[in-house]
Amino acid sequence: MTDNKNQQHKELPEEHIDPLITHLHSVIRQCVRVLAVLMVAVIIWGIGDVLYVLYQRLMTPPMFLLNINDIFYTFGAFMAVLIAIEIFINIRLYLESNDFPVKLVVATALMAIARKVIVLDVEKMSAEYILAVAVTVLALGVTYWLLHKEHKALNSR
């Protein structure tokens, strides 16, 4: 088992030449812990929102039927909760490791843009907006693929 000092972020070491910087790093680490607690609250709130929206949609006449807009809205709510869970994982990894989890951050961004694509109303969006979303998806997809490829190459050595 490794000690806590080895698990701290390189950017926020527990010990620094300047005692003020050491104290400030400690404050930032505590703030990140508060963010983790708040993200769990957001996740719980989001699940409650999904349940409430589903209940509301299912109880509206005709009862127990969802139209396509209801389904897309529900998908969007689900994706928002999943994105919040990914952000919590990013925060947890930030606190636990010496490495910034770039691949996970890119995966989270991919999930967020996927949510946007799922709920996108193409009829109301300009061609430029749709092109921008497409370019973002492509860029994030290629970035994720390259990171995954690099990770596999490093692990095969």
pTM: 0.72
pLDDT score, position 37: 96
Q: Which domain holds residue 75?
A: 4-156
Q: Residue 66: CB partners within 8 Å, gap ≥ 6?
A: 57, 58, 74
Name the band, by pLDDT with cuts 50, 70 and 90, for residue 45: very high
Query: Residue 25 is encoded by which pair of tokens?
Result: 């790093």
pLDDT score, position 113: 92
Mean pLDDT of the region 12-28: 82
Name the band, by pLDDT with cuts 50, 70 and 90, for residue 1: very low
Give whole-number Cα distances, 108 to 47, 52, 97, 126, 152, in Å: 18, 25, 18, 25, 20
Q: State the average pLDDT for the chain.
A: 84
User: How many domains is the chain partitioned into structurally?
Assistant: 1
Cα 12 from Cα 25, distance rounded (Å): 5
